Structure 1
Amino acid sequence: MASVKATPGHRAAGWRPTPLLATSLALGLLAALAVGPAWASAALPEATPVAGVTDPATEPEPDPETTPAEEPTPTDDPGGDPEPTDPAPETTAPPPETTPPAPVTTTPDVPPAPTTTAPGPGATSRPPTPRPPVPPVRPPAPGPEAPPPNPLGVQVTTEDVTVTGAYWNAASTITTLRVTVTNTGIAAQRIRLSYRLPEGLTDAGTKGCATTGLRAYRCGAWTTAPGARFSSLLRLRVAGNAWRQMPLSGSVQVAAEAPGVAGEATDDQGFAVLFPPGPPVSGISLDADEVAFDISGAPSTLTVRLGNTGEADAAGQVEVVLPAGVSVPTPPAGCVAVDTTRTRCDAGSVAAGRTVELRLPVEATPQAQREAPLSGAVIGQLDPRRGPTRQVQMSFRITAAAALATPVVSPPAPTGSQGVLSGGGASHDGPMTSVERTAAILIGVSALLVVLALVLATTSLRRRLSDRVAGPTAAPTD
């Protein structure tokens, strides 16, 4: 059979696309390699985040309170000197709390540069390993400077005025109110103390304190060191008929100032006057739990228990009296709101020797929670079928976590970028930078080269397929 010869044109057509395809692929690969670093750098901000790690400072344990022999002496006259009936109020002044020293920052050890020696005869010299480049540290963008910390600071806490059962057999009762003051600033301060008493309570001759009218009293000033704390006992007299005015609450205020520092720091704290159930009456018992509001300020619950300790069944009734700002938002079944601070509940028939329990929802305004602790009152009554009506009343305590919360002062957050990329990525709505424009151009050129290479490869493949379909042409026989 005669051999088939391909024409020179077909051979040229079969070899022509191969160099062109290889050239296009090489150009596309080079463009991709050139674009890769620029593309990666364009996706990240120019600055490299630098994370600093510091060891947390260890806070010292608070010093235990010690009781000195004498109280802090006021440095000025409060304006009066009432005759004291007892020795000076007890005070407590522990040594000032010391601030832990700042942690010592040490420079990290830098490994020494490798020393190079001339290679001996026959040895192969190895080039030194280049050190990785250190990323540049970019200073934070300028922004508003944080205000300097206030060197003044003061805090006051109080305990309750608790009246014992002996109150019901006395014309009046003398009790005490413990007040604790702490210098929370960073400078020596002069702290002034004042307090306001509710109706039915008067000062019983606290040394260094004098009345300013309207049941308000002002004491002298104490000079305290930073971190110093002292306690003082205020002597108070509770009138024999003060229980008729319950609930009763008062407040204590402190103000601190320092030489050369403008303004003053203030704080205030309320206190509750708590009476036991009474006046004592046989055949009835009354008890109420404390009401506590958590830091969220959500409504709480008041639980009241009314007991019949007599020998006959009786109709029970409970009346709850709350201070201003505290109320029962939705009275439960059997209860009705008499006014904004008074709610009356029908306890039904209470059998002899039995106790009924009532639960009422209670809410307080933010201002009332800041003034806590406060006190409320409960009045219990039993009306038997035969015999006189029996009635007693008592106080209960109202506390709130918001009264002890201290606002946290923090520097304002930066409004501009600080060179740190957030976990969710960065958004960019402004005009493109020069790096981003260059990256976009290179990406476009690379895409065009890849498309061109694909077109050339497809064209070459189609030509080869068409040549195979046409088949070889046979040469004429002799």
Structure 2
Amino acid sequence: MARVDVRPARQPAGRRVASLLTASLAIGALAAVAAPAGQGGAPRPAAAVAAATDPAGEPVGGTPGEPSPTDPTPSAPPSTLPPPETSAPAPTPTEPPEATAAPSTGAPTTTAAPPPATSPTPGADRPAPGRLGVRVTTQDVRLTEAYWSARSTTTTLRVTVTNTGEVAARMRLAYALPPGVTDAGTAGCAPAGGGDHRCGAWETAPGARFSTLLRVRVDGAAWHRMPLNGTVRVSASAPGAPGSADDREGFAVLFPPGPPVPGIALRAGEVAFDIGGNASELDVRLGNTGRVDAAGRIEVVLPPGVSVPAPPAGCAAVSATRTRCDVGTVPSGEAATLRLAVAATAEAQRAAPLAGAVVGRLDPRGGRARQVQMSFRITAAAALETSVATPAPVGSQGLIAAAGPAAFGAGGSVRQAAVALIAVSGLLVALALGLAVASLRRRLAAPGDPAPPPVPSD
């Protein structure tokens, strides 16, 4: 009987190669499908609309908000002049004056006109928009001794604005005046009610800096309301840049000691909070320039958010913002010195500079009491921080977006995740092809199968 050589049939190598290729292509297809889906679930950060970075709360004196449709529209930005330490010209406004708006003066000049911004094509790859930034600084309204003999005093408030961003931006300026202080006709600005004033918008190049003078009038009876504080606010925006950048700074209305009364002298130092916001000290000196001894009393009045947390011996809190101290008998020709620890909330420090007030009183034996009062300045290092635009949070709530920057780095995004998946699938495909080629080479290099033995005949 003939023997039959039965050996297991060898599976072709092509099947294994096909399996590897199929798995790799499936992974690549899933990655390609995941990329559009992830991008569709989360808008690109460049197209997001960011919220303005206003500090929390409102500073003393009120903060002007954005103009409403019923607010008056100024015809031009306020008249500008070079900053104190530079002679560079100020920017030129881009909006033409309106016939029905408030009066305006000559337009400021600019060093370089920014290129017109273009609207990006939806879905097209483009670099991230430049960062917005703005900084405003103010000087104080300082009154001289002449204030006490005038019915009102007209003076100026100097404001300096700097474009601290990376793009050309449109600046808008607004300011709030405290009670007893009114605008004296600042060109390019118009009242908006409640002490608020708004000025026209103008373009500024990155790094541009300029100053303007706001004309204000202080009423002859305003000293009864001290301390007086106001606020200046500047907003920067640019086409193609998300959100806006805002900065604000307070200003103090500082009164000299008075009304002038013979026989008494009063001086108060400045309060300055460091970057840590730690408590500072206020020094007050009450002098007796009369001929007889007198009992002395000092009263400190602070703006909201600023207080004396632990009054020393002889002092007591009359209210949340008022502390009264008895300094004892002040001999003729001498002075009493009072030192108080003063604290401030973070909101009050951001609103600085602010003003406080001290009231000095002397009660001589057998004579009339004498009293004067004055303002002092409150500053804080926290108010010097530059404000920039912060985009609003964007992204999908899916798995890739949930991984966030920890998975994809500080600038991680859905697009980067998709690229990473596609790259991994490409490596798998290359590996599969390499294995297939190696398998084929081994098969071709192997010796041929030996011929089957002859079958013996019967």
Q: TM-score, normalised by structure 1?
A: 0.59
Paired residues of 1:63 and 1:94 also in contact (CA < 8 A): no
Q: Which residue of 2 aligns with 1:65?
A: 86
Paired residues of 2:135 and 2:386 also in contact (CA < 8 A): no
Deviations along 1:116-169, whole A, 9 cap, x unmatched?
xxxxxxxxxxxxxxxxxxxxxxxxxxxxxxx95653211111111101110001
Deviations along 1:419-474, whole A, 9 cap, x unmatched?
xxxxxxxxxxxxxxxxxxxxxxxxxxxxxxxxxxxxxxxxxxxxxxxxxxxxxxxx
| Residues 202 and 90 of structure 1, relative CA distance in 2, 3 Å threshold | farther
Which segments of 5 or more consecutive residues in structure 2 lack a partner in the other structure?
1-82, 113-126, 391-402, 410-458
2:198 is aligned, of 218, 240, 247, to 218
| Residues 74 and 328 of structure 1, relative CA distance in 2, 3 Å threshold | farther
Q: Which has the higher contact order (CA 8 A, sep 6+)?
A: 2
SS, match of residue 167 in structure 1: helix
Q: How many residues align?
A: 304
Deviations along 1:300-335, whole A, 9 cap, x unmatched?
111000000000000000000000000000000000
Paired residues of 1:255 and 1:266 also in contact (CA < 8 A): yes
Q: Which residue of 2 aligns with 1:75?
A: 95
Query: Rg larger in 1 or in 2?
Result: 1
- 1:57-456 map, 5 Å: 65-66=86-87, 68=89, 72-73=92-93, 75=95, 77=97, 81-82=101-102, 88=105, 95=111, 148=128, 150-406=130-386, 415=406
Paired residues of 1:89 and 1:232 also in contact (CA < 8 A): no
SS, match of residue 132 in structure 2: coil
Q: Aligned partners of 2:144 and 2:106: how far apart in 1?
A: 21
Paired residues of 2:92 and 2:107 also in contact (CA < 8 A): no
SS, match of residue 352 in structure 1: coil
Paired residues of 2:236 and 2:244 also in contact (CA < 8 A): yes
- CA offset at residue 270 of structure 1? 0.6
| Runs of 4+, deviation exceeding 3 Å | 70-74, 76-84, 88-91, 93-96, 147-150, 406-410, 412-418
- CA offset at residue 82 of structure 1? 4.5
Paired residues of 2:155 and 2:215 also in contact (CA < 8 A): yes
SS, match of residue 187 in structure 1: coil
Which segments of 5 or more consecutive residues in structure 1 lack a partner in the other structure?
1-61, 97-146, 419-478
Q: Aligned partners of 1:372 and 1:178: how far apart in 2?
A: 16
- CA offset at residue 387 of structure 1? 1.7
- CA offset at residue 197 of structure 1? 0.3
RMSD: 3.2
- CA offset at residue 406 of structure 1? 3.6
Deviations along 1:72-102, whole A, 9 cap, x unmatched?
4462558965568xxx5997x7857xxxxxx
SS, match of residue 168 in structure 1: helix
Deviations along 1:162-201, whole A, 9 cap, x unmatched?
0111000100000100001111112111111000000000
Paired residues of 1:89 and 1:233 also in contact (CA < 8 A): no
Deviations along 1:346-390, whole A, 9 cap, x unmatched?
010000000110001100000000000000000000000122110
Deviations along 1:39-80, whole A, 9 cap, x unmatched?
xxxxxxxxxxxxxxxxxxxxxxx9951065x88446255896
SS, match of residue 357 in structure 1: strand
